[in-house]
Each structure stands twice: as structure tokens, then as C-alpha cells.
């Protein structure tokens, strides 16, 4: 509840600053529309915005699911195999050295203008944070737990599933919260490069037709969706950790 109040207060502050700029600078509407105009456009175009928002939500959801799944599997492989750490970690680091904007046109060329290229973009942008966070958690299992398990004759597989993975869940939760923020970025970048639906496509369409109020409305909806996703993931992780502690 406290976080919700803080978020609401922050939103009101941003709106106040926005409206203050309108009063002080009086910019043209096609440069900076007022909050009232954007809200009016959002209501009038709610069907159009909702249609494109559903596509982006679907892309983000699939990207988050598969990115998390691949990240968890990769982190476990890295933690249990020295050979995998030697071969895969440099590749993972190199993948982050390539700007995601540079990969978007290539993925669109290979996978087409449909939903698949956007989902893959979302997967790529969240794969590394999930893998890195979970791997760090797996490698930082308290030594006392491991010594006790080995003393009692536990196999490496049992130690992994019953000690190392549960102990690394908080780190995985941190990676998931980052992924919830990054996933919409990947999907929207893919829509900017080539798409016929989605909030990213709607932004470009509105910008090309000088409908700045519609573009701002799409941006605000995207921000609200991203925040809702982050809050949902954060609440799920927090509830799981509390249940496990109890």
C-alpha cells in the first residue's frame, strides 16, 4: 500500500511539472500537448490504443516467459559445469556489447515483420539479467549449507535442487524485476523497426501524422503497462519469499 501511495504521489508530481511547463512555456500542441489534451485523446482513442496495447502485452508476456526460462536453464548449466562457464560466459558478455538497436533490423530480416521477431527481441534483452542474477545466486550459496549437505552424503544433484536453487531464489527475483522493466523495451524496439500493430507502431504512426497527443497517450499507456508488470512481478516474488520463510 505504501508503494502504491508513493507511486501515485510521484505520478501527480510529474503531471504537475508537465502542466507547469505548459503554463510557463506555452509550447505549440504539436510539440508538447497538455495533460488534459492527452487524457482526452486517450479516452477518445481508447479502442485503438487498447487494440495495439493487447499486441504489445502479448509480445512482452511471451518474451518474459521464454527469456526467464532460458535464463534459468543457462544459469544452472553455468553453475554446474566448469566447461560451460569457460565457453558460454564470454559469449554472454559479448552479446551485451552489441546494442540491441543493431540487432532489431537483423531479426526483422530473418524472422519477418510478425510477432516472432518482437518476442525474440524481448527475450534477448532480458535473457542476460536473469541469467546473471540467478547464476550469482547459485554461486553464493552459504558454505555452511553445502558442508552440512556433503557431510550427510547428499549428491551434487540433490544439493543443487534442495539447497543451491532455493538459496538463489532471491537473486532470481531481482533478475525477474529487471526483466519486467526491460521486456517492454525489447518489444517496442522491434515494433519500431518493422510492425503493423503494437504500441511502438502506434507511436510511429502518430508521429508521422503529427498527432503528438496520440503519441503521448501511447507512451503513457506503455509506461503504465510496464509499471503494472513490475509491480506484479515484485509482489509475486515478495509473496513467495515470505511464504518460504514462514
Q: Which three cell numbers stand for residue 238?
A: 515478495
The 3 state secondary structure assigned to 72-124 is: HHHHHHHHHCHHHHHHHHHHHHHHHHCCHHHHHHHHHHHHCCCHHHHHHHHHH
Closest CA to 64 of 185, 235, 154, 165: 185
Same domain membership, residue 40 and residue 20:
no
Q: How far is CA 142 from CA 130, 139, 161, 162, 169, in A?
A: 21, 9, 15, 13, 13
Same domain membership, residue 41 and residue 9:
no
Task: Look at residue 102 in the predicted model and tell me its pLDDT.
Answer: 82
Task: Look at residue 134 in the predicted model and tell me its pLDDT.
Answer: 95
Same domain membership, residue 135 and residue 22:
no
Same domain membership, residue 121 and residue 10:
no
Q: Report the C-alpha gap between 101 and 94 in whole angstroms.
A: 15
What is the domain count for the chain?
Answer: 2
Same domain membership, residue 28 and residue 41:
no
Same domain membership, residue 21 and residue 114:
no
Same domain membership, residue 196 and residue 81:
yes
Same domain membership, residue 74 and residue 27:
no
Instruction: For the chain, 246 residues long, give each residue's pLDDT as a single digit of tens.
Output: 566 677 678 788 888 898 898 898 888 888 889 999 999 999 999 999 999 999 999 999 999 999 999 999 999 999 999 888 888 888 888 877 787 778 888 888 888 888 899 999 999 899 999 999 999 999 998 888 888 888 888 888 898 898 999 899 999 999 999 999 999 988 999 898 888 899 999 999 998 888 999 999 999 999 999 989 998 999 888 888 888 776
Structural domain including 19 reads 1-32
Domain CATH number, residue 161? 1.10.3720.10
Same domain membership, residue 154 and residue 68:
yes
C-beta separation of 121 from 103 below 8 A: yes
Same domain membership, residue 38 and residue 27:
no
Same domain membership, residue 95 and residue 1:
no
Same domain membership, residue 103 and residue 19:
no
Rounded-to-10 torsion of CA 229, 235, 237, 238: 160
Task: Look at residue 149 in the predicted model and tell me its pLDDT.
Answer: 86
Q: Which three cell numbers stand for residue 71?
A: 535464463
Amino acid at each position: 500500500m505504501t508503494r502504491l501511495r508513493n507511486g501515485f504521489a510521484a505520478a501527480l508530481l510529474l503531471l504537475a511539472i508537465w502542466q507547469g511547463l505548459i503554463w510557463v512555456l506555452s509550447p505549440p500542441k504539436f510539440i508538447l500537448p497538455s495533460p488534459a489534451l492527452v487524457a482526452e485523446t486517450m479516452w477518445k482513442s481508447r479502442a485503438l490504443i487498447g487494440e495495439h496495447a493487447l499486441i504489445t502485452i502479448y509480445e512482452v508476456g511471451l518474451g518474459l516467459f521464454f527469456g526467464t526460462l532460458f535464463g534459468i536453464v543457462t544459469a544452472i548449466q553455468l553453475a554446474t559445469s566448469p566447461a560451460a562457464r569457460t565457453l558460454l560466459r564470454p559469449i554472454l558478455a559479448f552479446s551485451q556489447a552489441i546494442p540491441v538497436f543493431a540487432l532489431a533490423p537483423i531479426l526483422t530480416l530473418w524472422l519477418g515483420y510478425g510477432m516472432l521477431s518482437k518476442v525474440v527481441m524481448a527475450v534477448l534483452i532480458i535473457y542476460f539479467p536473469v541469467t546473471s542474477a540467478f547464476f550469482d545466486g547459485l554461486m553464493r550459496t552459504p558454505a555452511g549449507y553445502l558442508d552440512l549437505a556433503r557431510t550427510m552424503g547428499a549428491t551434487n544433484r540433490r544439493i543443487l535442487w534442495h539447497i543451491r536453487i532455493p538459496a538463489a531464489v532471491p537473486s532470481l527475483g531481482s533478475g525477474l524485476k529487471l526483466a519486467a522493466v526491460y521486456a517492454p523495451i525489447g518489444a517496442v524496439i522491434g515494433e519500431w523497426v518493422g510492425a503493423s500493430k503494437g504500441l511502438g507502431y502506434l507511436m510511429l504512426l502518430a508521429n508521422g501524422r503529427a498527432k503528438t497527443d496520440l503519441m503521448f497517450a501511447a507512451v503513457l499507456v506503455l509506461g503504465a503497462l510496464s509499471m503494472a508488470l513490475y509491480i506484479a512481478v515484485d509482489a509475486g516474488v515478495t509473496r513467495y519469499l515470505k511464504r518460504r520463510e514462514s
